[in-house]
Structure 1
């Protein structure tokens, strides 16, 4: 027989309702408190620094007029909290490579790049002559960053940069960026409210952070202004200027897809383990399709790069690959740009190798695995939850040391064994 419900049996449900009510009341209060702290920080901390950088009071007040912290942005540490590794990965470049290289995404960039290569032929030729960066590379970055200027960039830059300089896990970095944005406004490059950004604070069609704009933005159309928001020529020149200033080597490729024999360890990966490409070839690493490496490339230094370990395509990359990583600190981003540039310039052909079923782990899981490797003396490049080359090759070395076939990529079994 079913018992009648007593007041005590309803207690958990009542407590839950009370908790929801209390949290709903507390949220506006917390936001108001943080808003007051933000305003105090602007006045006592950021304004003196801005003034030292030549920013007028008028510009500063206009930039932050009506601006309050955006607590929905990722990677924030609220007052009284401690930083933690986020469970979710907000940045596409650090998710599964198979998703990042979805054919419809790649074709959107390559088709758009080819159509714009003709439209901007003269401009691109002049930019390549000036900066030494191939047109395909410039177009691939433009397409990836902002869909050739068509992507929506909805955020108020001062809201994003101000919030992150006040509350993010990388306050020092964003402090530099918000001060640079104020300098941009002071110099009349763009009005504060028109300065729209991504959720990470990147501006315009090339998605420059403000400090990059001040250092690398270039006038591509000769009108004496640098407008990366509406001028396509300025956007193209600015991308090329950025790469040249970061060390682009004219005349060298970005890299080549290769086959890596089982006898060559995937733990040899990394920009600190370079050797002449001819030496990699002598180890049995071959360019896909059987073509030899160009003579001038064979004599130059190259690096093994396996972004999914043994679960995906492998590459021998040149120093220019790591220049592309200066634009976005991600192996798959640099690979996407190089691959798309090849398809823009030479025809729409995909990778020979395929991406395995990798990904699906939370950043917090990978971070726990990284800490386990660190305890064993491995250099994983920091327990940040991102499987960079130091983490991948540390996994490979651990697998070799434990009699396992090295894959050089995290999976659930590794997380369980190492956390």
Structure 2
């Protein structure tokens, strides 16, 4: 009997603890919701009103909307905003997984069909912008599966939450106001404003400010319709890339054999030189063909998006125009490579080593350690961009290790 009462007491204490926790969670949630409504009224509404957004649009957009605390990269009030341990975007995860043939092949196959179906539209866009149709179609395929992908989120819930709670509040604040402008201008109704978890809209997955700047009426119906019009979608992507600086008549890059005597720490667009100089150092194309004559006197740079654990490339400035669309080396490479294959090119010659690497938090701590030793890693954001990769390579060479230019568990342990 004594054991029974002891167990009963423990269960009551546990229940009261859970009740207290639930009560605290409810209290915090209520405070967040209240703060969100105040933020909308005191910050968002004045900015929206200044852009000509009617009060009715504002009220309809946020009717019943509360912060979605399940979204990634949030920092609750009173909490620090640490770098998340997990990479939520595929573009910043494993290169081997990102370039799996099961992901590439469907984009290439369907992309060829889309290029044939919209050949006239794409030819006209290329004449006007200089951007090849295959590049545009590859972006369309990667962003929304050529318009087939479901876009599940309420854009105002996503953008409102991120403007209030994300690590990049100012960025999302501007995007939120732009989303209100889109409705105020009559492009969509409030209920039609669906987005990705990051707030991107339509088939080209434009952020709202990009819609206002680049969305194009190409089918002549009087609407800039990136939700259901393929011509408008394709032309909008082309306009975006042209404005970002696409160089007419140049390729995006070439898969290359980069000899081991050329350090992977030499990677980066800020270390461009004439492609002929790389050729003089022994860099060749994996295809066995020469670099095009018109490219030899023009600038390029080494690109090793997985360090020595994957293929190497000579990238042209157009690679970084694609990257302006989505700030990821893997994304830009996927688009360029898929476009090549749509036009009859071959798969990568070099393989991607299935190197799991580290968590995003691990990479951020590694970046911080490198910064303390004077290396420029481009910021401790947990993403292994070219500055981080080449800093790793430079550290490895300085410390008598083979340069891989890629974060790894053993490197993390060495730098503790």
TM-score class, shorter-chain normalisation, is: over 0.9
Deviation at 1:30, TM superposition (A): 2.2
Segments of 5+ residues of structure 1 without an aligned counterpart are none
Per-residue CA deviations over 1:78-113 (Å, capped at 9, x if unaligned) read: 111111111111010000001111101101110110
**In 2, Cα distance between equivalents of 1:358 and 1:10:** 51
Deviation at 1:361, TM superposition (A): 1.3
**In 1, Cα distance between equivalents of 2:407 and 2:189:** 46
Of 259, 268, 271, the residue aligned with 1:270 is 268
**In 1, Cα distance between equivalents of 2:297 and 2:14:** 69
| Number of the residue aligned with 2:73 | 75
Relative to 1, partners in 2 of residues 1:306 and 1:187: Cα closer, same or farther, differing over 3 Å?
Answer: same
**In 1, Cα distance between equivalents of 2:65 and 2:136:** 35
| Number of the residue aligned with 1:339 | 337
| Number of the residue aligned with 1:143 | 141
| Number of the residue aligned with 1:370 | 367
Of 52, 55, 72, the residue aligned with 2:53 is 55
The secondary structure found in structure 2 opposite 1:249 is coil
Over aligned residue pairs, what C-alpha RMSD do you find?
Answer: 1.7
Of 300, 303, 326, the residue aligned with 2:301 is 303
| Number of the residue aligned with 2:215 | 217
| Number of the residue aligned with 1:356 | 353
Alignment of 1:48-197 (within 5 A): 48-197=46-195
Alignment of 1:244-323 (within 5 A): 244-323=242-321
Per-residue CA deviations over 1:193-249 (Å, capped at 9, x if unaligned) read: 101000000000000000000111111211221000011110000000000010001
| Deviates most, 12-21 or 88-97 | 12-21
**In 2, Cα distance between equivalents of 1:407 and 1:401:** 13
Per-residue CA deviations over 1:353-373 (Å, capped at 9, x if unaligned) read: 001122341111111111100
**In 2, Cα distance between equivalents of 1:130 and 1:118:** 19
| Deviates most, 124-133 or 201-210 | 124-133
**In 1, Cα distance between equivalents of 2:11 and 2:273:** 66
Per-residue CA deviations over 1:280-308 (Å, capped at 9, x if unaligned) read: 11111111022110001111100100001
**In 1, Cα distance between equivalents of 2:403 and 2:266:** 11
Deviation at 1:185, TM superposition (A): 1.1
TM-score (norm 1): 0.96
The secondary structure found in structure 1 opposite 2:25 is helix
Relative to 1, partners in 2 of residues 1:181 and 1:312: Cα closer, same or farther, differing over 3 Å?
Answer: same
Per-residue CA deviations over 1:173-193 (Å, capped at 9, x if unaligned) read: 001100111111111111111
The secondary structure found in structure 1 opposite 2:405 is coil
Deviation at 1:8, TM superposition (A): 7.5
CA contact (8 A) 2:357 2:407 kept: no
Of 400, 404, 416, the residue aligned with 1:403 is 400
CA contact (8 A) 2:285 2:291 kept: yes
**In 1, Cα distance between equivalents of 2:397 and 2:308:** 14
Per-residue CA deviations over 1:366-413 (Å, capped at 9, x if unaligned) read: 111111000100000111111100000000000010011100000001
Of 222, 226, 231, the residue aligned with 1:228 is 226
CA contact (8 A) 1:308 1:358 kept: no
Deviation at 1:28, TM superposition (A): 3.1
The secondary structure found in structure 1 opposite 2:150 is coil
**In 2, Cα distance between equivalents of 1:75 and 1:97:** 22
CA contact (8 A) 1:380 1:391 kept: yes
Relative to 1, partners in 2 of residues 1:268 and 1:14: Cα closer, same or farther, differing over 3 Å?
Answer: farther
The secondary structure found in structure 2 opposite 1:289 is coil
